[in-house]
Structure 1
Amino acid sequence: MAGIGFSEVMPFLSLYVDTMGHFSHDELSLYSGLAFAATYLVTALASPLWGKLADRTGRKLMLVRAAAGMAIVFFLMGLAMNVWQLIGLRLLQGVFSGYISNANALIATQVPKEKSGQALGTLVTGNVSGTLLGPLVGGILASFFSYRVTFFITGMLLLSVFILTFFFVHEDFKPVQKQLMLSTRGVIKRLTNSKLVFGMFVTTMIIQAANNSIAPILALYVRQIMNNSPATTFFSGLVAAVPGIATLVAAPLLGKLGDRIGTDRIIIIGFVLAIVVYVPMAFVTNVWELIGLRFLIGIANASMLPAVQAILAKNTPYEVTGRVFSWNQSFQALGNVAGPMIGSVVASQFDYAGVFISTAILVLLNLILVYNNTKVMRRNHA
C-alpha cells in the first residue's frame, strides 16, 4: 500500500506540471525533472538522521512517522496552485522519508541471517510491486477523476498505511543505549566487509538512477508514440505498472534462489537482462512493444534491489542495522535525484529515445562495479 501511495502520481506528475503554466518542451522537461528529484534530494540528507534515531527508538516509530507525514503532504499537493508550490511540497515529502528503509531494517533485524534473502525478497515484492502497480492505479484514477482528486485519494491511502502500521506492526526491539551509540567511523569498523557494503550503496544509487532516468519522460514518450491520443494517461499508467506483474512473481523466487546459489549471481543476471531490454525501448513504434519490454524489466528489477538488500542484511551487525539501511536509502535517494535530472537533460538535448540508451549505459557501469565487488562472494560459493 505504501508503494502504491508513493508511486501512483508518477505517471501524470509531468502532465500535472503541464497544467500549471504554458511551458516550452525544454521548460516542461526541466520542471518535471525538478518535481521528480526534489523529494529525493531532501531524503538523501534526512535519512541518516532518521536511521540513527531508529537504532535508539525502534523502526516501528519511524514507520508511523513517515506514513503520517506523507499522508498530509499528498493532501497538500492536491491543493498546489503553481509549479513552485508543487516542487516545495515534493521537498517537504523528503523530510518524511524512511518508510521503506525502516521496513527493510525491521525485517533484517527480526529474521535469521540465513533466511534474510527470502524474507527481504518477500518484503520487497510488496514494495516494488506496489511501486510499479501504483502508476496503473494512478492512471486509472486520473482518467476517471482528475489529477488533484487523485492526490487526495493517495493521501487517504497513506493515512490507511499509518493506521495499519500503528495497530498491526509489532517489533521485538532492543534499543541501543545513547552512550553506546557508535560514531560513523565506529559503525564502519563494526562492518566485517565495509568495501562490499559501500559498494552496495553505490550499486543502489546507480540502480535507482537508471530506473528513474526514464520517469520524467515516460508519460511524454507514451504521448509521443500514441500521437496525443486521449488514452495517453491510461496507457502511461499501464506502461509504468507492467513491470510490477513480473516483479510480483519473480522477487520472492529469486530471493530464495539467491540464498541457495548466491545473491551476487542473481544480481549480475538482472543487470545483463536490463541492458538487453533498455536498448530496444528506444526504437519502439507502438505502445504495445513498450509494454512488452517493460514486462521484462520487471524481472530484472526483481533481481536487483532485493539482492542488494539481502547482501546488506547478511553483512551488517544487528546494532548498526538502522544506520546502514538509512545510509543505503541516502544513496538510493541520490540515485533518485540524479536519474530524473539525467533523463531530463538527455531528453532536452537529444530526444526521449536517447534516455533509454543512456540508461543502458548506466546499467552497464553498474554491472562492472558489482562484478568486481562480489568476487570474494563468488569464490566462497564456489
Structure 2
Amino acid sequence: MPIWKRNVYVCWFGMFVTGIGMSQIAPVMPLFIQHLGVNNQDVIAQLSGLAFGITFILSAIFSPIWGAAADRVGRKPMLLRASLGMAIVIGCMGFAPNVYVLIGLRLQQGIITGYSTACTTLIATQTDKTNAGRALGTLSTANVSGGLLGPLFGGFIAEHLGFKAVFFITGGFMFIAFLTTALFVKETFKREERERQTLRELWSRIPEKSLTIALFISFFILTVSLYSVEPIITIYITSMSQATAHVALMAGVAFSASGLATIIAAPRLGKLSDRIGAHKVMLTALIIAGVLFIPQALVHNPWELTGLRFLFGVAAAGLTPSINVLMKKITPSALTGRVFGFSMSAGYLGVFVGGILGGQVAAWLRIQDVFYVTGALLLLNAVLVYFCVVKKLNRLNNQQVAA
C-alpha cells in the first residue's frame, strides 16, 4: 500500500474522532452543567453557549499558528501533539468538579487543536495531482461526519452510560488516534531554515489571492450551512411530530443523515473532481445544496426532512474536497500548512456563526426561515464561485494552453 494511502486511513480515523470530540458535547452540555450544580435554566443556557462556542473561537485563532508550526517542524509532530493533548483534556472533562473547570478545559481544547489542519496539510503535500481529489475527498468525510455524528454519539452514550462516560470514551478514542498516528503515519520532512515572516509578507507570497479568499469564504459558508440547523432541528421535528417520546432520536437521525451521506459520497466526488475539475464539481454542488434547503422548510414529517438532509449531504460532499484540491493547486508547498490553517479557521468560525444564525433567525422570524436563509447563502456563494473561481481558473487554463 502506498504511504500516502495508509496515511489517509490513519488520518481519517483521527480526524473523525476529533470531529466527534469537538461536537459531542452539544446535546450533553446543558444536562452536564445542571449535574454540576447549576439549577437556573437561564444561567444553564448562557453557560452552555459559552462552553460550546469558546472551543471553536479559540480553534479559529490557533489553527493558523499550528499550521505555521507544521510547516516549520513537520506535520507528524503536530498530529501527535494535538491527539495526545485532546485525549488528556477531553478525558479530564469527566472529572470536572464545577462548571468553571469545565469551561476552562473547553478553552484548553480549543487552544491545542490542530489535528485536522496537520492531516490535511500532510495528505495534500504527499499526494500527486492524479490522486489528490480522491485522497482529500476521503479525508474530508472524517471531520464533517465526525462533527455531524458527534451530537448523536454524545446523546446516546450519555443516555446509556452517563455524562462522564461521554468524555472518557471520546478521550480514549483520541488516545488510540495518538497511538495509530505514532505507529503508522510516515512522513519524510526536510526542515528548511527560513526567517520568520509577518502575515503581510506571507500573504505577498500567495500567487492567487482572490482565489484563496473565495475558497476561504466558500468553506466558511459551507460550515455555516451544515450547522445552522443544529439549534432548531429538535424543535422543528417536535412541531411536526405527534410522537414526542422519540423526538431526540429522530432529531439525531435527521441531523446525522447528512454526515452519513458525506461519508458515502465524498470519495466518489473527489475522484470525479480529478477527472473533470474540482471547480466544476464545487459549483454544481453549491447550486444543488442551496436548492435542497428550500424543500426542507416545506416538509410535513421527520422522515421527509431526513431524506432531504441525506440528499443535501451528498451535494455537500462535493464541496470540502474540491476546496482542498483547489487550495493545494494554487498554494506554494512551503505555505501549505499555514494556508490550510487559515482555511480551518474559516471552518471553525462557520460552526460558531452557523449555530448563532440558526438560533437568531428562528427566534426573530420562523424556524422554516432558517432553511430559506441558509439556502440563499449557498446560492449566493455559487455566484461568487462562478465569477471568482470558475471563470478565473478557465482563464488561467486557457493562458497556459496558449503558452
TM-score by length of 2: 0.85
Counterpart in the other structure of 2:387: 372
Tell me how far apart the structure 2 counterparts of residues 222 and 9 of structure 1 sit (CA, whole Å). Answer: 24
Structure 2: gaps spanning 5 or more residues: 1-12, 399-403
Helix, strand or coil: the match of 1:284? coil
Relative contact order: is structure 1 or structure 2 higher (C-alpha 8 Å, sep ≥ 6)?
Answer: 1
Is 1:212 matched up with 2:227? yes
Helix, strand or coil: the match of 1:171? coil
Tell me how far apart the structure 2 counterparts of residues 11 and 164 of structure 1 sit (CA, whole Å). Answer: 22
Match runs of 1:1-382 below 5 Å: 1=13, 2-7=15-20, 10=23, 13-14=26-27, 16-18=29-31, 20=34, 21-23=39-41, 32-80=48-96, 85-179=101-195, 181-226=196-241, 229-374=244-389, 375-379=391-395
Is the CA contact (8 Å cut-off) linking 2:25 and 2:52 kept in structure 1? no
Residues 280-332 of structure 1: CA distance to partner in whole angstroms, max 9, x if unpaired? 22233322112111101111221111111110011111111111111111222
Identify if the C-alpha distance between structure 1 residues 16 and 225 changes in structure 2 by more than 3 Å, giving closer, same or farther.
farther
Shift of 1:86: 4.2
Identify if the C-alpha distance between structure 1 residues 235 and 103 changes in structure 2 by more than 3 Å, giving closer, same or farther.
same
Judge which range, 254-263 or 340-349, deviates more.
Answer: 340-349
Shift of 1:63: 1.0
Aligned residues: 379
Tell me how far apart the structure 1 counterparts of residues 83 and 184 of structure 2 sit (CA, whole Å). Answer: 14
Tell me how far apart the structure 2 counterparts of residues 278 and 296 of structure 1 sit (CA, whole Å). Answer: 10
Is the CA contact (8 Å cut-off) linking 2:62 and 2:113 kept in structure 1? yes
Judge which range, 315-324 or 66-75, deviates more.
Answer: 66-75
Is the CA contact (8 Å cut-off) linking 2:232 and 2:367 kept in structure 1? yes
Is the CA contact (8 Å cut-off) linking 2:71 and 2:337 kept in structure 1? yes
* Aligned AA (1:123): L
Helix, strand or coil: the match of 1:208? helix
Helix, strand or coil: the match of 1:337? helix
> Percent same amino acid at aligned positions?
39
Identify if the C-alpha distance between structure 1 residues 126 and 13 changes in structure 2 by more than 3 Å, giving closer, same or farther.
closer
Helix, strand or coil: the match of 2:41? coil
Identify if the C-alpha distance between structure 1 residues 360 and 77 changes in structure 2 by more than 3 Å, giving closer, same or farther.
farther
Structure 1: gaps spanning 5 or more residues: none
Judge which range, 133-142 or 113-122, deviates more.
Answer: 133-142
Tell me how far apart the structure 1 counterparts of residues 49 and 284 of structure 2 sit (CA, whole Å). Answer: 30
Residues 126-156 of structure 1: CA distance to partner in whole angstroms, max 9, x if unpaired? 3333333444433432332233322221111
* Aligned AA (1:330): S
Helix, strand or coil: the match of 2:331? coil
Is the CA contact (8 Å cut-off) linking 1:9 and 1:151 kept in structure 2? no
Is the CA contact (8 Å cut-off) linking 2:232 and 2:358 kept in structure 1? yes
Is the CA contact (8 Å cut-off) linking 1:277 and 1:297 kept in structure 2? yes
